[in-house]
Chains A and B, each alone.
Chain A
Amino acid sequence: MGDTIANLKIGEIGIIQDFCLDAIPLNLLEMGCLPGKEVRLLQIAPLKDPLYIKVNGSHLAIRIETAKQINITKLR
């Protein structure tokens, strides 16, 4: 129910459900951030933004606005 990457706590894993294509940079998709993939939140920058995630084998930093657009279901 309404979880996004931005709701994950450090160390938590979620499965990507869907997102609005307009709000997500194409290169994020192309790096493998796609529905069905696991994302793990590794670290949050000191001012709560950006987020450091691991998805599809890539270690990436994305901004919170982007993270809020990606719906997930939490694992565990």
Chain B
Amino acid sequence: MKSNSLLNIALVGNPNTGKTSLFNQLTGLNQKVGNYPGITVDKKQGRCKISEYLTAEITDLPGTYSINPTTLDETIVLETLLNESNNSYPDLVIVVAEVENLKRNLFLFSQIKDLQFPSILVINMSDQMIRKGITIDIEALKRELKSEIILISARKNLGIDDLKREIENYENWNTEPIANISDKIDTVFFETIKTTFPEFSLYKSWLLITQQKNCAFLSSELYQKITAFNPDSEKVKKYQHKETIYRYQIINEILKKTYAVDKNEATDLRSRLDKILTHKIYGYIIFFGVLMLIFQSIFEWASLPMDLIDSLFANVSELAKTNLPKGTFTNLIAEGVIPGIGGIVIFIPQIAILFLFIATLEETGYMSRVVFLMDKIMRKFGMSGKSIIPLISGTACAIPAIMASRNISDWKERLITILVIPFTTCSARLPVYAILIALIIPDERIFGIFNLQGLTLMGLYLLGFAAAISSAILLHNVLKIKTQSLFVIEMPNYKLPSFKNVFYEVVEKTKAFIFGAGKIILALSIILWFLASNGSEKFKNAAEYVTTQESAKHLNDDVLNKKIASYRLEHSYIGTMGKVIEPVIKPMGYDWKIGIALISSFAAREVFIGALATIYNVGSDGVGSGTIKERMAAEVDSVTGEKRFNFATGMSLLLFYAFAMQCIGTLAIVKRETKSWKWPILQLTGMGALAYIVSVITYTILS
């Protein structure tokens, strides 16, 4: 049961009208906002104090053009509005419209009104009216629609207080339906529906009948009653068509009296920009130029702050070592945890720059043009133009990227997109790439300008995209799923990015990256440290064993201590485990320590460095020091005496990380989004096998 004082409010509206912007204003939260239809793909809730006595639970919903859903995110809206037992079932609905396309927004509003929710029409982006030459007679519109209407600007924070004041009065709002579908379409048919479901509004019953397949929440009793009505699909289509025409008739009549656009005032910035940005040659040049710019700046602009952070963490580590009591635990902190976290924090500049670009692009409205440009090409790979957005944002993190695929209506296109996203080089791979590249690729320039290390990194990004595309082609040919081309995408107006939106997006995403990774690294470092500093009988008596074994050689203490330490590590719990897996990873060129780090990073890739740091640190028994990189560079093969991280091993590791599916979070999301274990397991095994084979081949050829 919902408590009496808490009012459930749902924000419903066309995509890109500013629902999330309003939600953020009302709740003080910072949910993602962007000038692309389909930014919000899930329900989000937040509290808002409407008045001294009234608090509301606001639900932000994905945008939709109609209650009849065509994509998964739109289905969420349907379910929220029809399922009375869901916890965000609204007491009242705020329909967010936008000044420019009021006609289409009113279509959805009329549907909501027909569901007989207490509802209010909020017309957003009032700040754009003058520039676009739009005038709206609000009072007349209120009368015509028999509804409350508020003009606001969510971006400029105008009219929000008026809205709150009006909401206080929601119990007195008119809840009469707007469209009388029964009379206009088929009186007999709809009257029977009415008498069969007296408990619902007519429109709700009609929706339940036509949207059965999207109504998983129905009780079996109700379901039976509904299926008894199964009209044939021809009839449904015809009636929906009639309903649509009828609704627009009503709306056009109303708008004729209340809405005017002065064409002379309307600037044609859109058409001029569109001519260039979607041009058959310039369009592509600009798109690839933008991509190049992003990658260049990630590598160029970020290097200075990254060096600063690097030395900062080296100092903190030093400080911890000198000030904490001596012992292995201090070493864990100073040489495992702090550098492990440092290894993540150092990527803040790069990640922030990446998000800065993505967020800015999303705010300008450019992304939809990219979708338009790329649709035909992407279809050859079994995907949709809309897949470009998840693939680009996958360079930050695969998890939101997979969520973003929800607005792809075709299941096959969406599935392939979801399956190949993990190949794109996400930010968790960056720390691993960066340190390995620094170890095995010389810091030189070729042709005087291109930094070899930077080029290698770029190559790995391209490799990721290439792998995504090739596996998409493979899946496209293998998967036998019928496709229906229901692709429609709206091209929003160009906008100047809002600094605030971009800023919060960058901050929130960066924070999520740091804390998400930080927690895992901390936990895993401690577990690894524990497993490495405890062991069986041989571990405990390591000193005796080694001293008696080596007694003939008369080693000095230093060498002897090192031998003891490594003997101990080998017989710790982790060493024992490592030895078990060693035969499997040997062909890839790794020893058991790398193997353990590799396995630890199956939870999250960025753990790799911290795991190695912890293992090396315990193994050295506190004698050694230096950064992780120096440690890794100093590590030698105990048999051959060669460098552990030589070119062959390094390349093999790089390629392993490029292809392997090492992210529990992604697997969980794929399971949730595809509603089946089949697909995440396919990713895990398929990508894992590919990674293993490529690594073995690489190592064999290079060594």
- For residue A2, CB closer than 8 A to chain B, the reply is no
Cα-based distance from A45 to B375 in the complex (angstroms): 9
Known A-B contacts A52-B278, A60-B491, A63-B485; A30 and B375 likewise in contact (beta carbons under 8 Å):
no
B377 in contact with A47 (CB, 8 Å): yes
Asked whether A75 is an interface residue with its Cβ less than 8 Å from the other chain, the reply is no
**Do B66 and A25 touch (CB < 8 A)?**
no
Known: A45-B375, A58-B101. A27 touches B70 (CB 8 A): yes
For chain A, the bracket of interface size reads 20 to 34
Picked from B244, B283, B487, the residue with its CB within 8 Å of the CB of A29 is B244
Contact indicator per residue, chain A 44-65, by CB within 8 Å of chain B (1) or not (0):
0111111010001111111101
Q: Please name all residues of chain A whose beta carbon is closer than 8 Å to the beta carbon of B376 when the two chains form the complex.
A: 45-50
Q: Considering only CB atoms, which chain A residue lies closest to B237 in the complex?
A: A21
Determine whether the beta carbon of B107 is less than 8 Å from that of A32. Answer: yes
Cβ-neighbour of B70 out of A25, A45, A57, A66 (below 8 A)? A25
CA distance A62 to B241 in the complex (A): 19
Q: Are B372 and A50 in contact (CB under 8 A)?
A: yes
Q: Report A-chain residues with C-beta under 8 Å of the C-beta of B66.
A: 26-27, 30
Q: Are A61 and B491 in contact (CB under 8 A)?
A: yes
Interface residues of B in 196-254 (CB under 8 A from A): 237-238, 240-241, 244-245, 248
Is the Cβ of A34 less than 8 Å from the Cβ of B274?
Answer: no
Q: Which residues of A contact B464 (CB under 8 A)?
A: none
Asked if A58 and B241 sit within 8 Å, CB to CB, the answer is no
Q: How far is the CB of B366 from chain A (nearest CB, A)?
A: 14
Q: A34, B491: Cβ atoms under 8 Å?
A: no
Chain A residues closer than 8 Å to B586, beta-carbon distance? none
Chain A residue at minimum C-beta to C-beta distance from B241: A21
> Which A residues, 1 to 35, have Cβ-Cβ distances below 8 Å to chain B?
21-22, 25-32, 34-35
Q: Is B275 an interface residue (CB 8 A)?
A: yes
Indicate if B284 sits at the interface (CB-CB under 8 A): yes
Partner of B103, one of A25, A32, A60: A32
A12 to B514, CA, bound (A): 52
Given A52-B372, A60-B489: A30 touches B377 (CB 8 Å cut-off): no
Contact B248 A61 (CB under 8 A): no
- Give min CB distance, A58 to chain B, whole Å: 6
Contact A63 B244 (CB under 8 A): no
The answer to whether A42 and B274 have CB atoms under 8 Å apart is yes
B486 on interface, CB distance cutoff 8 Å: yes
- Please indicate the chain A residues that have their CB under 8 angstroms from the CB of B240 in the complex: 26, 29
Residue pair B68, A21 in contact (C-beta under 8 Å): no
Taking CB as reference atom, which chain A residue is nearest B487? A63
List chain B residues, Cβ under 8 A from A73.
none
Q: How far, in angstroms, from A50 to B488 measured CA to CA in the complex?
A: 9
Q: Considering the chains assembled together, what is the distance between the CA atoms of A48 and B487 in angstroms?
A: 15
* Residues of A close to B488: CB separation below 8 A: 25, 27-28, 31, 60-62, 66
CA distance A56 to B106 in the complex (A): 13
**Residue of A34, A50, A66 with most chain B CB atoms under a 10 A cut-off:** A50
- Contacting A at CB under 8 A, from B404-423, are 409
Q: Is the CB of A50 within 8 A of B490?
A: no
Q: Does B679 contact A (CB under 8 A)?
A: no
Residues of A contacting B489 in the complex (Cβ-Cβ under 8 angstroms): 60-61
For residue B385, CB closer than 8 A to chain A, the reply is yes
Q: Is B271 an interface residue (CB 8 A)?
A: yes
Q: How far is the CA of A66 from the CA of B486 in the complex (A)?
A: 8
Is B371 in contact with chain A by the CB < 8 A criterion?
yes
Contact partners of B270 in chain A: CB under 8 A: 59
B residues in contact with A27, CB < 8 Å = 65-66, 68, 70, 486, 488
- Across the interface, A43 reaches (CB within 8 A) one of B100, B101, B103, B275, namely B275
Partner of A61, one of B103, B375, B485: B375
Produce 1/0 per residue, B88-120, CB < 8 A to A. 000000000000110110010000000000000
Partner of A21, one of B104, B238, B371, B490: B238
B70 contacts A58, CB within 8 Å?
no
Closest residue on chain B to residue A27 by CB atoms: B70
Q: Which residue of B lies closest to A65 (CB)?
A: B485
Whether B103 contacts A66 by the Cβ 8 Å rule is no
Contact check, A46 vs B238: say whether CB atoms are below 8 A apart. no
A60 to chain B, nearest CB (A): 6
Q: Bound state CA distance, A54 and B505, in angstroms? A: 31
Asked whether, in the complex, the Cβ of A50 is within 8 Å of the Cβ of B385, the reply is yes
A43-B281 Cα distance, complex, nearest whole Å? 13
CB within 8 Å of A: which B346-380 residues = 368, 371-373, 375-377
Q: Are B103 and A52 closer than 8 Å at their CB atoms? A: no
Task: Kindly provide the distance from the CB of B589 to the nearest chain A CB, expressed in whole angstroms.
Answer: 44
Q: State whether A46 and B283 are in contact (beta carbons under 8 Å apart), knowing that A29-B241, A61-B375, A63-B487 are contacts in the complex.
A: yes
A62–B271 Cα distance when bound, in Å, is 17
Given contacts A27-B66, A29-B241, A42-B274, contact A56 B485 (CB under 8 A): no
B:397-444 near A, CB below 8 Å: 409
Chain B positions within 8 Å of A30 at CB level? 65-66, 68, 107, 244
CA distance A27 to B484 in the complex (A): 14
Contacts A58-B104, A66-B485 known; 15 new A-B pairs at CB < 8 A: A21-B238, A25-B409, A27-B70, A28-B488, A31-B65, A32-B104, A32-B107, A45-B278, A57-B103, A59-B270, A61-B371, A61-B487, A61-B488, A66-B486, A66-B487
Q: List 11 A-B contacts (CB under 8 A).
A: A25-B486, A26-B237, A27-B66, A34-B248, A42-B274, A43-B274, A46-B280, A50-B372, A61-B488, A61-B490, A63-B485
Interface residues of A (CB under 8 A from B): 21-22, 25-32, 34-35, 42-43, 45-50, 52, 56-63, 65-66
Closest 5 CB pairs of A and B: A46-B280, A25-B486, A47-B376, A30-B66, A59-B491
